[in-house]
Amino acid sequence: MMLRQLLRQAASNVAEPTPSRRAFLKGTGGALVISAVVPLGSFAAESAAPGIVGPADPRPNLFVRVAKDNTVTVLVKHLDKGQGIMTGLTTIVAEELDADWSQMRGEHAPADSKLYGNHFFGIQGTGGSTAVANSWDELRMAGAAARTMLVNAAAAEWKVPADQITVAKGVVSHKASGKSATFGQLAEAASKQPIPAKVTLKEPGQYSLIGNETLHRLDHVSKTNGTAIFAMDIRRPNQVTAVLARSPRFGGTVKSVDDKAARAIPGVIDVLTLPVGVAVVAKNTWAAIKGREALSIQWDDAKAEKRGTDQMLAEYRAQAKKPGTKAARKGDTGAAFKTAAKVVEAEYSFPYLAHAPMEPLNATLEIKADGGAEIWAGSQFQGIEQPVVAGILGTTPDKVKINTLWAGGSFGRRATTTADYIAEVALIAKALAAKGKKVPVHLVWTREDDIQGGRYRPMVVHRVKGGLDKAGKLIAWEQAIVTQSFIADTPFAQVMIKDGVDATAVEGASDMAYAVPNLSVDYHQMASPVTTLWWRSVGHTHTAYAKEAFIEELAAAAGKDGVAFRLELLGDAHPRLTGVLKLAAEKAGWSKPLAPAADGSKRARGVAVHESFSSFVAHVAEVTVSKDGKIKVDRVVVAVDCGVPVNPNVIKAQIEGGTGFGIGHALRDQITLTDGLVDQSNFDGYEPMRLSDMPEVEVHIVASTARPTGVGEPGVPTAAPAVANAVFRATGQKLHDLPFSKAGVV
Amino acid sequence: MISLDINGKVREVDVPEDMPLLWVLRDELNMTGTKFGCGVAQCGACTVHVDGQPTRSCQLPASAAVGAKITTIEGLSGKAAAAVQKAWADLDVVQCGYCQSGQVMAATALIAENQNPTDADIEAALDGNVCRCATYVRIKAAVKQAAKLART
């Protein structure tokens, strides 16, 4: 268990990894820790090339680089895996700098947890939709500081008072003297100015770039002409490609290997038996894949998972009927149910789900002469990967240089507590180096490796019971959540597991916003060698579904409209939730029910509302159910409140995509096991949402001056329950077991 | 040696006959704009044009591409391509971007043939191209905008 020990070591740096921003804020006394952050501008650097290849010149607290060629480069410490954070964070700096958008560039920052740590995690890493919230103060200050230095440089050069100087669209001007200069022209002089001790930040009313709908993403061209460089595209001199044969059953290990046939494949360089599997190293990817196919491996399944998911699910369902570990308690549910006029019960089940980012996992690692290493990867947890790799190679984390590249999706998959695929490539490179082959190694996961490789969204069962009084008022709620924990046995456990309850499993349920005087939420932790992981929106992927689908069933039992019932339960206590709920309902035309389709197919709307990662989202889905019971999601209206909308174009894109992600998986995706073997292997068996499945999506952003929060994940949780509720309202059919294809409606 | 006509240039590669064109492009010729997504023609990330037809390069053995005119994202040109790439950029279609070379290749082949695509035409042409970020709302809109640009 070397990796686990390494990780424990790595995690000694982990200060505040908690699952929700609410908890983060609690942990830091209601404010982000920014006092320690000194924003520095680096001026007169060499021109930054557009696009991201890797940082050229890491210096302390370096966030902004103004170059002589008049480009301004923002060093972004968070991974852009599609969510548009490169654009979002650059917008924040550009605003305070009064730059012209066309001169702005973005670049992934170097890996250095001390300089570029996520203030919520204590190490460098991206996740939990924290990036904008995390960087909001720091980057506004960096932009403002750089602006002040440019102004002071101009004042000194023109011999005019600094307070008479204005800055607009990247031009510094002094009206009375008619003097003006670009940032580029002032860059060198500004670099000699002292860093201001204090800066004044703009008020929201002064924003011209923040909230501006017309800004394009920084990567909107390079990703449409094939020039954007992903980790998969890295080609180092003498690079070799490796693929790894891993145990087909989770928890299995290598017993014996016959690699004769593999070594005979032209292009195969070596075959290595490692603790993580059998690596085939070759001149190119095709040879590596062919070599792996030619391997004959006997696996030791003594400790492996041999159950199928049907059996596991049955065990989960049985467990849900037993008392669990207390996650939330209020009042006395037992007494309340005795007085209830109506009791509703339901059980919801959720399958394992793969993240399946479009770019399969891969990384290139090169061992350096000093014993350190250089890595090229779509790196999401640099603060874990550095110490893990350092531990494997016997060096120190600072000697592990990571070039963070655009990632082709992640959805949580690239952020692991063990640096899994990065550790694999380090083990392979080390083993090769030990045989005298010190060459850059590119480890490639095939799609089959990805679909069958675990780290799934856990399987979950929710058993829920609700009680209504005679007036249809909700008086009691009991819920049992049965699932695996991907936090237990990791260093994150010390913060994220409290009193035996994994916060990532119960978030969105134990802190339910609906007013109910008697509440009981229990947590049950199941074990399996099947590896699991956070998956875009984490616990909310299932808790929001169970909560919102069940609330709809309660509303129906109470004879109430879905929106009205929710508003009643939210009362005045949750203005941002009621705000998005009302906005989505209004924009969707909720008050006018849908007429049946011309062919007689039933049509209805469904609604769901939820808070996740401190953002608030409501979905209204319009669904047609054909006469043979098949569903089609026609249109989805979404309202989102994420505080100050930094980049509305990116926010809308994230909510559109999150909606598709939520609905797509709910329709037909599941990872199942038979005798411990994964049944699906590629996009044929695990078929993602396709263009023809995608509904129209209309996104409305709530105007707000609240601190901005994330949008990468919050678009997911309510999408699927809104669809399920539409189907329920159209036909009465309750979609309790995901994916919907299990019920024959897809 | 296998001789291939790629983006108007003859390229000689010393590879096994069964090596898919995808890996010839990416590993032998360092043309990495064409992406590996699934390896089984289920996602479209590896789409190239073979004699103008959108083709999954992960399932096309190098030997079977001999004699054909192969166009990759790096060599994409012409009115339809320009219209598609402009529409894609104007509407900020991309998120992670990894599938988008393939989306652009598939959309360009459609627009080159049909400047008035219906929703059904767009679905037929692009349903094989997976986008895990689900940028489909904008893909549909961009195809329509590209068609409009190509008509003028």
Least Cα separation, residue B129 to chain A (angstroms) = 7
Check residue A383 and report its DSSP letter. Answer: H
B137 Cβ under 8 Å from any chain A Cβ: yes
Listed residue (A284, A262, A285, A283) closest to A273, CA to CA? A262
Does B95 sit within 8 Å of A407, measured CB to CB?
no
Which chain B residue has the Cα nearest residue A216?
A: B92
- Average pLDDT over chain B reads 98
Least Cα separation, residue B114 to chain A (angstroms) = 19
- Quick one: tokens of A425? 């490539």
Phi and psi angles of residue B29, each rounded to the nearest 5 degrees, phi first: -105, 0
Region class of A320: left (phi > 0), else alpha (psi between -120 and 50), else beta: alpha
Rounded CA gap, A510 and A507, in Å? 6
Asked whether the beta carbons of A383 and A10 are under 8 A apart, the reply is: yes
Cβ-Cβ contacts under 8 Å, B74 against chain A: 226
B135 Cβ under 8 Å from any chain A Cβ: yes
Which chain B residue has the Cα nearest residue A361?
A: B37
Q: Which of B 78-117 lie inside 8 A of A, CB atoms?
A: 85, 88-89, 92-101, 104
Least Cα separation, residue A543 to chain B (angstroms) = 22
Contact partners, residue A402, CB within 8 Å, separation at least 6:
A110, A111, A374, A375, A377, A379, A382, A385, A386
Distances (CA, A) of B73 to A289, A432, A481, B20, B106: 25, 35, 48, 17, 10
Assess whether pLDDT exceeds 70 at residue A34.
no
Assess whether pLDDT exceeds 80 at residue A33.
no
Rounded CA gap, A656 and A87, in Å? 17
User: How many percent of chain A have pLDDT more than 90?
Assistant: 86
Q: What is the arithmetic mean of pLDDT over A91-105?
A: 97
What ranges in A472-539 are assigned the alpha helix state H? 493-496, 503-506
Listed residue (A656, A631, A657, A635) closest to A733, CA to CA? A631
What local confidence, expressed as pLDDT, does residue A363 receive?
Answer: 98
Assess whether pLDDT exceeds 90 at residue A15.
no
Q: What is the arithmetic mean of pLDDT over A554-576?
A: 98
Does A226 sit within 8 Å of B34, measured CB to CB?
yes
Pick from B45, B74, B92: CB nearest A216: B92
Assess whether pLDDT exceeds 80 at residue A3.
no
Least Cα separation, residue B67 to chain A (angstroms) = 22
pLDDT digits 0-9 by tens, B71-96: 999 999 999 999 999 999 999 999 99
Which chain A residue has the Cα nearest residue B84?
A: A224
Rounded CA gap, B78 and A492, in Å? 53
Pick from A224, A657, A682: CB nearest B133: A657
Q: What is the arithmetic mean of pLDDT over A299-305?
A: 98
Pick from B97, B98, B134: CB nearest A657: B134
Name the pLDDT band for B37 (thresholds 50, 70, 90): very high
What local confidence, expressed as pLDDT, does residue A52 receive?
Answer: 24
CATH architecture observed for domain B79-151: Orthogonal Bundle (1.10)
- Quick one: tokens of A634? 């026609």
Of A66-70, A231-235, A533-537, the least confident: A66-70
Which chain A residue has the Cα nearest residue B142?
A: A224
Asked whether the beta carbons of A16 and A495 are under 8 A apart, the reply is: yes
- Average pLDDT over chain A reads 91
Pick from A226, A284, A684: CB nearest B74: A226
What local confidence, expressed as pLDDT, does residue B152 receive?
Answer: 87
Which chain A residue has the Cα nearest residue B138?
A: A653
Least Cα separation, residue B23 to chain A (angstroms) = 7
What local confidence, expressed as pLDDT, does residue B81 receive?
Answer: 98
Listed residue (A110, A122, A59, A86) closest to A402, CA to CA? A110
- What are the sequence ranges of the domains in chain A? 32-206, 231-302+361-444, 309-353+456-743
Does B39 sit within 8 Å of A682, measured CB to CB?
yes
Which chain B residue has the Cα nearest residue A448?
A: B38
3-state helix, strand, coil in chain B (%, to 5): 45, 15, 40
What local confidence, expressed as pLDDT, does residue A494 receive?
Answer: 87
CATH architecture observed for domain A309-353+456-743: 2-Layer Sandwich (3.30)
- What are the sequence ranges of the domains in chain B? 2-75, 79-151
Q: What is the arithmetic mean of pLDDT over A305-320?
A: 98
Cβ-Cβ contacts under 8 Å, A229 against chain B: 32
Rounded CA gap, B34 and B102, in Å? 7
Pick from B20, B42, B101: CB nearest A684: B42
Q: What is the 3-state secondary structure (H, E, C) of A48-112?
A: CCCCCCCCCCCCCCEEEEEECCCCEEEEECCCCCCCCHHHHHHHHHHHHHCCCHHHEEEEECCCC
Which chain B residue has the Cα nearest residue A82?
A: B96
What local confidence, expressed as pLDDT, does residue A41 receive?
Answer: 37
Check residue A322 and report its DSSP letter. Answer: S
Q: Which residue has tokens 């002469």?
A: A369
Cβ-Cβ contacts under 8 Å, B128 against chain A: 690
Assess whether pLDDT exceeds 90 at residue A13.
no
Burial class (CB in 10 A: 0-12, 13-18, 19+), A322: exposed
What local confidence, expressed as pLDDT, does residue A194 receive?
Answer: 86
pLDDT digits 0-9 by tens, A113-172: 988 988 888 889 999 988 998 899 889 988 998 999 999 999 999 999 999 999 999 999
Name the pLDDT band for A35 (thresholds 50, 70, 90): very low
B20 Cβ under 8 Å from any chain A Cβ: yes
Name the pLDDT band for A22 (thresholds 50, 70, 90): very low
What local confidence, expressed as pLDDT, does residue A371 receive?
Answer: 96
Name the pLDDT band for A641 (thresholds 50, 70, 90): very high
Q: What is the arithmetic mean of pLDDT over A712-716?
A: 97
Assess whether pLDDT exceeds 50 at residue A60.
no
Q: What is the arithmetic mean of pLDDT over A255-270?
A: 98
What local confidence, expressed as pLDDT, does residue A491 receive?
Answer: 84
Asked whether the beta carbons of A378 and A403 are under 8 A apart, the reply is: no
Rounded CA gap, A93 and A87, in Å? 10
Q: What is the 3-state secondary structure (H, E, C) of A170-217?
A: CEEEECCCCEEEEHHHHHHHHHCCCCCCCCCCCCHHHCCCCCCCCCCC
Cβ-Cβ contacts under 8 Å, A447 against chain B: 37-40, 43
Least Cα separation, residue A654 to chain B (angstroms) = 8
Rounded CA gap, A636 and A616, in Å? 16
Q: What is the arithmetic mean of pLDDT over A659-680?
A: 98
H or E segment at B88? helix B79-90
Does B92 sit within 8 Å of A649, measured CB to CB?
yes
Of A42-56, A355-369, A430-444, A727-741, the least confident: A42-56
pLDDT digits 0-9 by tens, A178-212: 999 999 999 989 988 888 878 889 999 999 999 99
Burial class (CB in 10 A: 0-12, 13-18, 19+), A572: exposed
Pick from A406, A649, A683: CB nearest B43: A683
Pair type for strands A441-444 and A497-498: unpaired
User: How many percent of chain A have pLDDT more than 70?
Assistant: 92
Listed residue (A83, A17, A7) closest to A420, CA to CA? A7
Least Cα separation, residue B96 to chain A (angstroms) = 3
Q: Which of B63, B96, B121 to mutate to test the interface with A (most CBs of A within 10 A)?
A: B96
Does A224 sit within 8 Å of B88, measured CB to CB?
yes
What fold does the segment set B2-75 form as a domain?
A: Ubiquitin-like (UB roll) (3.10.20)
Asked whether the beta carbons of A502 and A521 are under 8 A apart, the reply is: no
Does B97 sit within 8 Å of A406, measured CB to CB?
yes
CA angle A299, A303, A308 (to 5 degrees): 90
Asked whether the beta carbons of A702 and A575 are under 8 A apart, the reply is: no
What local confidence, expressed as pLDDT, does residue A11 receive?
Answer: 35
Which chain A residue has the Cα nearest residue B86?
A: A221
Pick from A216, A219, A446: CB nearest B97: A219
What local confidence, expressed as pLDDT, does residue A134 receive?
Answer: 87
Asked whether the beta carbons of A160 and A174 are under 8 A apart, the reply is: yes
Least Cα separation, residue B3 to chain A (angstroms) = 19
Burial class (CB in 10 A: 0-12, 13-18, 19+), A103: buried
Which residues in A192-201 are b (16+ Cβ under 10 Å) and which e? ebeebeebee
Does A225 sit within 8 Å of B133, measured CB to CB?
no
Cβ-Cβ contacts under 8 Å, B93 against chain A: 220, 224
B42 Cβ under 8 Å from any chain A Cβ: yes
Least Cα separation, residue B44 to chain A (angstroms) = 10
Q: What is the arithmetic mean of pLDDT over A233-250?
A: 98
Q: Which amino acid, A100?
A: D
Cβ-Cβ contacts under 8 Å, B72 against chain A: 226
Assess whether pLDDT exceeds 70 at residue B5.
yes
Does B28 sit within 8 Å of A690, measured CB to CB?
no
Name the pLDDT band for A36 (thresholds 50, 70, 90): very low
Name the pLDDT band for B64 (thresholds 50, 70, 90): very high
Assess whether pLDDT exceeds 70 at residue A48.
no
What CATH class does A231-302+361-444 carry? alpha beta
What fold does the segment set A32-206 form as a domain?
A: Aldehyde Oxidoreductase; domain 4 (3.30.365)
Name the pLDDT band for A586 (thresholds 50, 70, 90): very high
Does B37 sit within 8 Å of A447, measured CB to CB?
yes
Asked whether the beta carbons of A111 and A377 are under 8 A apart, the reply is: no
Q: What is the arithmetic mean of pLDDT over A354-380?
A: 98
Q: Is A661 strand, coil or helix?
A: helix
Rounded CA gap, A86 and B42, in Å? 30
Q: What is the arithmetic mean of pLDDT over A282-293?
A: 98
